[in-house]
Chain A
Amino acid sequence: MKNRKRSVDFLWLGLLAFLALLPLIPGLLRSSFTQHVAIQILLYASMAQAWNILGGYCGQVSFGHSVFFGIGAYGAGMAVVKYGMIPWPGAFIGAVLAAAVAVVISYPCFKLKGHYFAIATFAIVEIFNRLFMVWYWVGGALGLDYSFTDQGWTHFVWYESKRGYYFGVLLLFLLVFGVVRWIERNRLGFYLRAVREGQETAESLGVNSAKVKLMAMALSAFLAALCGAFFAQYNYRVDPPMVMSLDMSMKFVLITILGGLGTFYGPLLGAALLIPLQEYSRAFLGGIGGGVDLIIFGLLIIIVVVYQPRGIMGIIDGIRVKAKRSKEGGE
């Protein structure tokens, strides 16, 4: 127990050191494309970590998170485009709405178990996508396009440099990872893992599994929606296929699985591998056409998942165990 505590502290300090170094990257790397890749890594790591609360720690695999992501994106988009406001209140309202929608949707869905729950969340994405496509108050299929406005933190828009976006997404990253770090060490974290390992057993020990799952869903949706608001601000546009699609939902799931489901560092490792691969392969090979970049992207995912189904964290654990064994053998 003593050893475990020491190693957790070490990991946390390591993360803090890593975060302290991150703000230096824009200064070190002048290229706006590299900054774009760094922003994408932090954004997708945050999205995956938000999903990890429900899918990883609580064991409820949801393919519907693009709905909550989209509601957050529309919150910011509606505030800016429809009402000419700054995006902050829209982002917050969007996040609260996403959490409320998540609770309303998941209350009946949580009665389903395993694959059936996952299938139900698939359907929810399609329902919301179609709904937003024909809901003209939110722009329908035409979506919401930002017009030129003042740059800076007030409007959370920058045109000439990505520096502001970088620090913005870094704050989001700290918030999402900080919340998960807090959950991990809090009673809620133990409840979530208990439900994941065996709902009946957890209930027999006094855990209110329905309440725990709803809390995880609401928190996960709230944080995913904040990521969506950032996405809209970053792209100056939001429309249903951009945000409320199975494609986007799969990114939440894929990054976490690749990095390591239910682990603190998994989403960051998954994003750090997948996003640069996606962006650089498209940049170098996308112009050739024929989807060479997508083929390489797909191959890598297959290799990692076949080689180690527990993702990158599984590979790291394997190396650690091997090193420990050889050390013990040497002694």
Chain B
Amino acid sequence: MKQRFFGKGLLLVLVSLLMVAALVGTSVADEKVIKIGTLFPLTGPVALAGQRCRAAVETAAEVINNAHPELQVPLAAQEGLLDGYKIVLIHADHQGKPDVAKSEAERLFDQEKVWAIVGSYNSAATKPASFVAELKKQIFMCGCSSSGALTERNFKYFFRMAPTDKTESIEFVHYIEWINETKNAGVKTVGLIYENTEFGKHAAEEGRMAAEAKGFKVVADVAFNPGATNLNSEVQTLKAANPDAVFGACLGGDYTLWVRTMKQMDWLPKVALNYCTGYQDPIIAGQLGEDANYFMGGTGYAPEFAELMPAVAAVEEIYKAKTDPSVPFDSDSIQEAVALFVLAQAIEKAGSLDPTTVAETLHANEWESPLSMGGKVAFAPGGQNIKAMSMLTQLQGGEYKRVFPVDLADTEPVIPMVPWSKR
């Protein structure tokens, strides 16, 4: 009897959930709306980053849909787009899997009838999802996926906001040249440590090319599987090669493990430069505490950049309310908000919802983007934002200090990194 009751109860819950979801999905069908799909890893190893990216797009949609005259961002003063159109977001989860990203992109376009997609964080997921968009001649706005290969496909409907691994690699090497010249840092060799994925592998290849092009010798090339529980042998390999500088491409928890393993082995290079998240995540930096200091990396945004990007703070308050635990924008999530702001401006300027017209408009113009470093966005053929900038920061006293390029710096870098024993 009990078993039968339990079975019926479970069935009722399942049916109710499905009905609620179906109703939510259809309630906006008849309104004047522009449906935009978001496609991020909401579950899986980088779920937290994906959920923050989704919150950033929600923030941008809220600003666009409602009048926010107090905000210094384009379209904030008006309500909606094209005389009354509102943006409605349809969220999807690709779980960090390329095949799921492809099928979810198809579902968003074919079933949900979204007009464009914003996503997808993991470069390996962005590739097949944007392939679907290109086939369907629909716009794909990519915020932060950093693999250079994404914008080397000559796609017409793909647009990426963030700088690529190539841009960051070149910047890393410029920085090393600068500290050698001005600080007598004596950096001659480079080591690479990276997760063995589309992102990590591509970043490492770009890092190697940039370093070797300027005469630096790459003495260690260490790949690891993401989500590793132990990086002892990887760090041991680095320690044995003892490179002067290390370029790291380690996401999330892998970054924490890498730093802690180096501490355990009492080894540090003179300079440690990091691509993308891990280093950029303020929560991770907080968890590492004092150990996070003196590491460096490319940073598109940090709260410490407030004086360079004064418009961000007010928008960030809306974003903070959408994240749990409440966090400020990071370099990745802010790019996803930029993606929707730029798309909205293009729709408004084109005065049309024809994807081809809007894509051509996106290519033909330069866009105001107070949430981007440098304040502008413009696209090259293939969809790369040629105005994308990132700055090198160094964590000092738990804060992201701007150290390079020199004209934007607010702090002198600490070189070499302070050894573990002297902290």
Contact = CB atoms under 8 A, between A and B. Distances in A.
A135 B104 CA distance: 29
Nearest to B55: A289
A231 B196 CA distance: 22
Given A32-B110, A141-B201, A235-B99, A289 B93 contact: yes
Nearest to A278: B100
Nearest to B3: A307
Contacts of A182: none
A193 interface: no
Interface stretch (B15-23, B60-68, B79-87): B15-23
A69 to B, nearest CB: 12
B346 to A, nearest CB: 25
Contacts of A287: 38, 42, 90-93
A33 B128 contact: no
A257 B2 CA distance: 26
A326 to B, nearest CB: 18
A32 B106 contact: yes
A282 B93 contact: yes
Contact of B106 (A36, A134, A147, A292): A36
B127 interface: yes
B198 interface: yes
A239 B124 CA distance: 9
B132 to A, nearest CB: 9
B223 interface: yes
A312 B402 CA distance: 61
Contacts of A296: 14, 17
Interface string B223-248: 10100000000000000000000000
A237 B98 contact: yes
Contacts of A290: 42-43
Contact of A291 (B21, B43, B135, B202): B43
A113 B350 CA distance: 68
Nearest to A30: B110
B51 interface: yes
Interface string B2-34: 000000001000100110011001000000000
A295 to B, nearest CB: 10
A286 B42 contact: yes
A293 B43 CA distance: 10
A32 B99 CA distance: 16
B185 interface: no
Interface in B265-323: none
Contacts of B97: 241-242
A286 B92 contact: yes
A282 B21 CA distance: 11
Interface residues of A, number: 40
A288 B111 CA distance: 17
B93 A286 contact: yes
B167 interface: no
B202 A142 contact: yes
Interface string A273-314: 000000110111111111111101001000100000000000
Contacts of A283: 92, 104, 107, 111
B51 A289 contact: yes
A294 to B, nearest CB: 6
Contacts of B124: 143, 239
Interface string A226-258: 000001000111010110000000000000000
A164 interface: no
Nearest to A136: B201
Contact of B102 (A235, A280, A285, A299): A235
B254 to A, nearest CB: 14
A160 B90 CA distance: 23
Interface string B83-123: 00000001111010111101110110011000000000000
A242 B122 CA distance: 14
Contact of A145 (B21, B42, B103, B127): B127
Contacts of A231: 99
A188 B124 CA distance: 43
B106 A236 contact: no
Given A239-B198, A287-B91, A294 B110 contact: no
Contact of A133 (B17, B54, B196): B196
A274 B124 CA distance: 26
B99 A142 contact: no
B223 A242 contact: no
B43 A294 contact: yes
Interface in A128-142: 130, 133-134, 140-142
Given A286-B42, A289-B91, A141 B110 contact: no
Given A32-B106, A289-B51, A284 B93 contact: no
B198 A289 contact: no
B396 interface: no
Contact of A33 (B10, B106, B131): B106
Contact of A142 (B54, B91, B198): B198
Given A159-B135, A290-B43, A141 B106 contact: no
Given A32-B110, A289-B42, A236 B201 contact: no
Contacts of B92: 283, 286-287
A31 interface: yes
Interface in A114-170: 130, 133-134, 140-143, 145, 147, 159-160
Nearest to B38: A287
Contact of B17 (A33, A147, A285): A285
Nearest to B43: A291
15 contacts: A134-B223, A140-B196, A141-B223, A142-B149, A142-B201, A145-B128, A235-B99, A237-B99, A237-B128, A283-B104, A284-B21, A286-B91, A289-B93, A291-B42, A293-B93
Given A134-B196, A134-B223, A242-B99, 7 more contacts: A133-B225, A142-B149, A142-B198, A145-B127, A236-B128, A286-B95, A288-B42
